[in-house]
Structure 1
Amino acid sequence: MRVTMPGLTAVDHEFAVPLDHADPAGPTITVFAREIVSPDKAGQDLPWAVFLQGGPGGKSPRLDGPAYFSHILKTHRVLLLDQRGTGRSTPAVAEGSPKELARRLGHFRADAIVADCEHIRRALGIEQWETWGQSYGGFVTLTYLSQAPEGLKACHITGGLAGIDASADDVYTRTYPRVREKIRAFYARYPGDRAKVTAIAEHLSSTGVTLPDGDPLTFRRWQSLGMMLGRSGGAEKLHWLLDEAWIGGRLSDAFLYDVMMETSFHAGPLYAVLHESIYSQGPATAWSAERLLPDDFRAPDMFTGEMIYPWMFADMRALRPFREAAELLAERDDWPPLYDAARLASNEVPVAAVVYHDDMYVDAGLSLDTASRLGACKVWVTNEYEHNGFRADGRRITARLMEMNAGLV
């Protein structure tokens, strides 16, 4: 299907790929992708780029125009990939026994996404293409460079240089202090909000509160709103959420609806189900974020960040069907490697990456260590943006990264 809107022409594609690329004769799934191009260049022979969305479990952007792709579309045709299990790709539904489901979900990590990309690249007759990896899409890019660099002409990474050999424990040991700093900065900007947060936390700890979808709003679920503090404008959004929290002595319906939407996984359960497994290259993650939760984060004025906890699979209806499978994934201790350190060190594919110095989700220290171990990599370190810098100022960021790979800066 072809659709043209102001500044954008889109063409839909579907591809049948093996569930397990090591078993090409086995079951298949569908991977959906949307090709976008500037309308005035629709008939031109343009270089291709594939956009690898954040996540895990994130579908590609649904655009109403060029948006943050405007600079890329001046010169490229872009494929927006609904990574397996997301969007219009075959959904990763909770079917079969927990053991069968856990085994199936093991085929939804970066290695399988890279194999899907290579399948699609060949199906479209593309000799080589470029990647744009946002957040987790940068993790996938590193796996791509490890497993199939011959398909790549150049790579661009925005806030997603993963630690090559960092475990989930390494990640949370570094990111909990970053969350603590974001909370400190939030209260420094809005000092009156500490009392508001504490009052809501104490109310939730003493009163049964139900969200519009029927899930309980517990203190620990309330704390997960700290995820907002890692995005540009997130502190302001949280501030205004607090500003209209109460009607009389109860939490307002509008407030409860907004909290539900911010903390629910209805649109993407894979994000929670696979979150810790994206870091493992062998050992079990064993609910790393839960094990490493610092004691001070249990205080009523504290929040958590981009962490997934086992209680979520009991409290949230979108995750309950995955509960037993998630336990099995947390126990799994034979995860295959995602990165090839030797191959990355000798990499010759040009890589340009922006590292956000104050990123709450992806630790800048781990990112810079990876950059130092990745051949042909140029890095721009900035504290001008939060983790969502690509969406906040896509034109500037994409222009800078393209100039870096072209040797202009």
Structure 2
Amino acid sequence: MTTYRQPGLVLTDRRFTVPLDHDRPDGETLEVYGREVVAGDKAARTDLPWLLYLEGGPGFGARRFIGPQAWLGRAVREFRVLLLDQRGTGRSTPATRQTLPLRGGPREQAAYLAHFRADSIVRDCELIRRQLTGGAPWTVLGQSFGGFCATHYLGAAPEGLETVLVTGGLPSLNATADEVYRAAYPRVQRKNEAHYARYPDDVERARRIAAHLTEHEAVLPGGGLLTPEAFQSLGILLGGGDGTHQLHLLLEDAFVPTPAGPALSDAFLEGVQAHLSYAGHPLYAVLHEAIYAQGHGPTGWAAERVRAEFPRFDAAKTLAGDGPLLFTGETVHPWHFVTDPALRPLRETAELLAARTDWAPLYDPARLAANEVPVAAAVYHDDMYVDTAHSLDTARAIRGLRTWVTDEYEHDGVRAGGPRVLDRLLALARGEL
């Protein structure tokens, strides 16, 4: 272990060895990394309860805080916090285009990655909990996909949980991937309409950029191809609290004059690269639809198939008419594995995962209906990433779960809201509100 200090905090790097397949504990192992964080004036205390933070995604390592930022400052007032890099992410035996060939070809890679869903993550957490807490249960804070993991945790190992707090991450217990995306596209359209109402000049800007991309090849600084469909993927920004403003600032300076005529500026392409590249989180793309798979057959590129039911998202049809270009949201498509250099080598692996049919169920409705663990969840009123109606259905299905439904925040409320969101959820879970 390595221990060091930041303003107000003491941090310790921790590494844990876990089985790749928990059903074969004597088989291959992975290393999982966690960053322990404690307030500087409480570092010597041995009686602090633990709070485990599960990041959203899938595919993202835990957020790297500098000092007691956002919710972390509230948490360390009473907890010793573990910021966990879920398996395959961050410093936990990474799974990327560079490392996965060590497994063999696409078939071997797909078989390996089938062990990287919420069920395996939760079993990692239980093994780690027993090492850290001496067997005592801990509080879990799950953001977005981290909330999906926490919901699985409630049904799979409730004995390990003191309290569960979920922010923007109550999943449907039974919706197929098709149903998830069929609910998503209308929400994304509403976010587009709100963006254009705020920034009406962006209607023409977005159309002009998309039209340019249909006639000119654009290569991002990292080698990615910016096609009209890839450009539409910038709608991923619209689910965050300041995302509409970020998108506007990106669009307003897209073109520069050149001897050959107007061209997309280097600054614009650099900005797009920062938002669209999967180099830092390839599992987000590779496993994104698999997080919804529960024995209903293959996911089969559900976002791409369902998109055909919403022709207003078709860039070619939009440019042939006079309506606004609609940006897409949290969707992954086969062409991502063509346009993005970080994903191209994983294309066959992704195809195999999309075709897989034997995914195990992730949630246990009977155990959730009998839940005894205090649970509180922030449900954002029109969350672009997680369907509000699905979340509220799940909230009703989990015994004792208390919700805070709010339109004060977007999906990133736990970060944007500072300590307030965590403070309110703790009060709800403890019956103080």
TM range (shorter): over 0.9
SS in 1 for 2:34: strand
Q: C-alpha deviations, 1:191-228, integer Å up to 9, x for none?
A: 11100000000000011111111221111100000000
Aligned to 1:354: 378
Match of 1:250 among 227, 238, 263: 263
Contact 1:223 1:303 in 2 (8 A): yes
Rounded to whole Å, the distance in 2 between the matches of 1:94 and 1:11 is: 28
Q: Could you say what secondary structure the match of 2:93 adopts?
A: coil
Give the SS at the match of 1:25: coil
* 1:267 counterpart (265, 276, 280): 280
Mean Cα deviation higher: 87-96 or 70-79: 87-96
**3-state DSSP class of the match of 2:229?**
helix
Partner of 1:349: helix, strand, or coil?
coil
Give the letter for the 2:118 counterpart. A
Q: Does 2:21 match 1:5? A: no
1:157 equivalent in alignment to 2:187: no
Task: In structure 2, list runs of 5 or more residues that go unmatched.
Answer: 320-324
**Residue from 82, 87, 95 that aligns with 1:84:** 87
1:395 offset after TM fit, Å?
A: 0.6
Match of residue 407 from structure 1? 431
1:99 matches 2:107: yes
Q: Does 1:17 align with 2:33?
A: no
Output one character per residue of 1:117-168: Cα deviation in whole Å (capped at 9) or x when no partner: 0010111124110100000000000110111110001000000000011111
Give how far 1:244 is off.
1.2
Structure 1, unaligned runs of 5 or more: none
Alignment of 1:189 onto 2:202: no
**SS in structure 1 opposite 2:35?**
strand
Q: Could you tell which deviates more after superposition, 369-378 or 88-97?
A: 88-97
Q: Which residue of 2 aligns with 1:370?
A: 394
Task: Report what 1:55 is aligned to.
Answer: 57
Residue 380 (structure 2) pairs with residue 379 (structure 1): no
Q: Is 1:34–2:40 an aligned residue pair?
A: no
One-letter code aligned to 2:209: I
Q: Does 1:230 align with 2:239?
A: yes
Secondary structure of the residue that 1:291 maps to in structure 2? helix
How big is the shift at 1:61?
1.0
Kindly state the Cα deviation for residue 169 of structure 1 after the two structures are TM-superposed. Answer: 0.9
- Alignment of structure 1 residues 195-206 onto 2, 5 Å: 195-206=204-215
- Counterpart AA for 1:285: T
Among 301, 305, 328, the residue aligned to 1:287: 301
Looking at structure 2, the residues matched to 167 and 65 of structure 1 have their Cα atoms a distance apart, in angstroms, of 40
2:29 corresponds to 1:66: no
Distance 1:72 1:16 in 2: 26
The structural deviation recorded for 1:94 is 2.3
TM-score, structure 2 as length reference:
0.94
Which digits, 9 at most, give the CA deviation of each residue in 1:12-60, with x for residues without a partner? 1000100000111110010000000110111112000100000001100
The superposition leaves residues 54-81 of structure 1 with CA deviations (integer Å, 9 ceiling, x where unpaired) of 0001100111111121111110011000
Structure 2 counterpart SS, 1:154: strand
Given residue 297 of structure 1, which amino acid in structure 2 is its aligned partner? Answer: F
Corresponding letter in the other structure for 1:288:
A
Show CA shifts across 1:60-115 (max 9, x none).
01111111211111100110000000011101132211111000000000000000
- Measured in 2, the distance between the counterparts of 1:307 and 1:126 equals 39
Aligned-partner Cα distance in 1 for 2:88–2:418: 26
Between the two proteins, the alignment pairs up a number of residues equal to 409
Contact kept? 1:132, 1:157, Cα under 8 Å:
yes
Q: Which residue of 1 aligns with 2:313?
A: 297
Give the equivalent residue in structure 1 for 2:151: 142
Q: Which AA in structure 1 matches 2:73?
A: S
2:418 aligned partner, one-letter code: G
Residue of structure 2 in register with 1:394 after alignment: 418
TM-score, structure 1 normalization = 0.99
Contact persistence 1:94–1:321 (CA under 8 A): no
Q: CA deviation at 1:271?
A: 0.4
Higher mean alpha-carbon deviation, 285-294 vs 124-133, is at: 124-133
Letter in 2 for 1:222: F
Equivalent residues of 2:100, 2:109 under 8 A apart: yes
> What SS does the corresponding residue of 2:100 show, helix, strand or coil?
coil
Query: 1:4 Cα deviation (Å)?
Result: 0.9
Give the drift of 1:361. 0.3
Structure 1 residue runs of 4 or more that deviate by more than 6 Å after TM superposition: none
Tell me, yes or no, if the aligned pair for 2:223 and 2:340 is still in contact at 8 Å: no
1:286 & 1:353 partners in 2: Cα distance?
Answer: 31
**Larger displacement relative to structure 2 (299-308 or 146-155):** 299-308
Tell me the distance in 1 between the aligned counterparts of 2:344 and 2:213: 22
Secondary structure of the structure 2 residue equivalent to 1:71? helix
Q: Distance in 2 between matches of 1:325 and 1:316?
A: 15
* Aligned mates of 1:178, 1:7 — CA distance in 2: 40
Aligned residue type for 1:252: S
CA distance in 2, matches of 1:267, 1:160: 22
Kept in 2, the 8 Å contact 1:133–1:157? The answer is yes
CA displacement at 1:242 relative to structure 2: 1.0
The CA deviation at 1:7 is 1.7
Please say if residues 164 and 339 of structure 1, whose CA atoms lie closer than 8 Å, have aligned partners that are also in contact.
yes
| Cα separation, 2, equivalents of 1:97 and 1:242 | 40
Letter in 2 for 1:341: P
Deviations 1:306-327 (A, max 9, x none): 0000111122110012110100
Give the percent of matched residue pairs that are identical in Structure 1 and Structure 2.
Answer: 53
Aligned-partner residue type, residue 16 of structure 2: F
Q: Distance in 2 between matches of 1:297 and 1:148?
A: 41
How many Å separate the matches in 1 of 2:360 and 2:300? 16
